[in-house]
Amino acid sequence: MKPTLKVLIITMVFSCFATISLASPKYSANVPENVTTPDVVQTNQLGELRFFDGMPSDETVSKVYDHLDFSRGVETFLTGIPAASLYAFVEGMKEAGMDTFSMGIHEDLLDARSLWLTPNTTVVYCIAEINVKNGPTVMEVPPGVLGPVDDAFFKWVTDIGFTGPDKGKGGKYLFLPPGYEGEIPDGYHVAKTKTYRNYTLMRAFVIEGDLKKTAAHIKKYWRLYPLSEVNSQKPPHFVNLSGIKYNTVHANNFDFYKELDAVVQYEPEDAFNNELVGLWASIGIKKGETFAPDKRMKAILIESAAVGNATARALSFRPRAKAPYFFEDRQWYTAFVGGTYTFINNGEMMRDYRAFMHYMATGITPAMTKSAVGKGSAYLFTAHDSEGKYLRGENTYKVTMPGPVPAKNFWSFVVYSGQHRSLLETDQRSAGVDSKSPDIKANPDGSYTVWFSPDAPKGKDGNWVQTVPGKSWNTLLRLYGPLESWFDKTWKPGDFELVE
């Protein structure tokens, strides 16, 4: 027998034994196909993935780890928006000249020079950091104001003023740090917080049309100091923020992760839930450790931030579900799906709507979702015209609200930049119009038509909001003291109509 033929026969014999042995082991299971992994898997996201009997190849391992780090970077961006946003707001206060116990007042209202997420320009905004890292903090609240106190993850702590326990009469609030076990004195509205850093967004309505009188009223009553200094208070430090160029908006690039890391390092380790802490730690944001991604990881996170930002913008400007829309035949919508400020519905965290809300706005309170007839506010948002196209600054649009408009107190339009989501930068200081304006005119049937364009249409100056060619914009319609026809949906505003 030739050697080659002999080798071939021996090989075939052994192969047969091996096949018999593998095909029918003594202890065999009925393994479903759906629990096994093919040697080659084709995917749209990662291309071809290769395995040896379930063991991933080196190339496949490299692909999936890059994808895992990338996807976790995107999720860290989306879930970290509330924390980064509050951090950016407090850092913005410092940029404007405030300190931990300073009190900032927009004495001459707010305009586009100050970067805030979707503010209005009709109330006097008062802001402060409430920091309890070194012990309880006292805030004395003036009569006649309202607003929330939120923690470092933009979770609601308490309301103050009309919607808070003082019911608009003013009073003293005591904020306790996490795990506080000390004595709690009498005479305070007590609020416990899970984080060291908190902030208040207090609004004061203009008294008798007099801004100076309003600011003086606030300064007379508003105080912020450590409880330990209750009997030896330092002189209050007020900062007039009107006209100051400062930024309270979080970053949308790799710097976002630095902002989030600063929050994690500053706050107690149990400030956030374990799932979030674990997610953020998976990309290198770990309590007590320096955030210093290597060259590979930084390149991945740069892209993650870009995609996270794009995702937040898609969620905010192009909701894909019907649930956020107020009406089936209108372009107006909201982040408060289901009327909940916690974004929890039947045990489900509605993550997309939470990201939308905190990407577009600052401040959270139950009062934003629990308005009653004649009380509170209703917020209607849109970035689209009647055909669903984005609003563009070079175009002329008109929107008509049937009369009577269901707002007990007043209604307003304010326009915002599609880029930074703060007030649109124009030559019009108010960046909007409201029903209290002496120049606004109703139509003969009681409805109101408001025009949006670079220049005022002839004879429409009082009903006009300025936009900028080449710039995108979006708007909030606010109804202060919404009335019955808003709640039963027998009234609905028109969409933005393009005027050729």
pLDDT tens-digit series, residues 50-74: 999 999 999 999 999 999 999 999 9
Determine the pLDDT at residue 2: 53
Higher pLDDT, residue 371 or 129? 129
Residue 15 predicted with pLDDT over 70: no
Q: Which class for 460: exposed (0-12), middle (13-18), buried (19 or more C-beta within 10 A)?
A: middle
Determine the pLDDT at residue 32: 96
**Residue 118: which region, alpha, beta or left (left: phi > 0; alpha: psi -120 to 50)?**
left
Q: What's the rounded Cα separation, in Å, for the pair 219 and 204?
A: 12
Residue 14 predicted with pLDDT over 50: no
Average pLDDT of the residues in 409-427 = 97
pLDDT tens-digit series, residues 263-272: 999 999 999 9
Cβ within 8 Å of residue 4, ≥6 positions away: none
Average pLDDT of the residues in 287-312 = 98
pLDDT tens-digit series, residues 328-379: 999 999 999 999 999 999 999 999 999 999 999 999 999 999 888 998 899 9
Determine the pLDDT at residue 372: 87
pLDDT tens-digit series, residues 98-111: 999 999 999 999 99
Average pLDDT of the residues in 284-313 = 98
Residue 3 predicted with pLDDT over 60: no
Average pLDDT of the residues in 132-137 = 98
Cβ within 8 Å of residue 280, ≥6 positions away: 76, 79, 80, 260, 264, 286
Determine the pLDDT at residue 33: 95
Per-residue pLDDT band for 24 (boundaries 50, 70, 90) equals: confident
Ranges 169-173, 369-373, 438-442: which has the least confidence:
369-373
Q: What's the rounded Cα separation, in Å, for the pair 42 and 49?
A: 6
Per-residue pLDDT band for 17 (boundaries 50, 70, 90) equals: very low
Determine the pLDDT at residue 479: 96
Residue 8 predicted with pLDDT over 80: no
Determine the pLDDT at residue 371: 81
Determine the pLDDT at residue 20: 45
State both tokens at 134: 């070194």
- Summary mean pLDDT of the chain: 95
Q: What's the rounded Cα separation, in Å, for the pair 408 and 226?
A: 40
Residue 4 predicted with pLDDT over 60: no
Q: For the chain, give the percent of residues with pLDDT over 90.
A: 94
Per-residue pLDDT band for 478 (boundaries 50, 70, 90) equals: very high
Q: Which of 71, 225, 216, 37 is nearest to 137 (CA)?
A: 225
Average pLDDT of the residues in 411-437 = 97
Q: What's the rounded Cα separation, in Å, for the pair 219 and 213?
A: 10
Determine the pLDDT at residue 23: 59
- Would you say how long the chain is, in residues? 500
Higher pLDDT, residue 15 or 321? 321
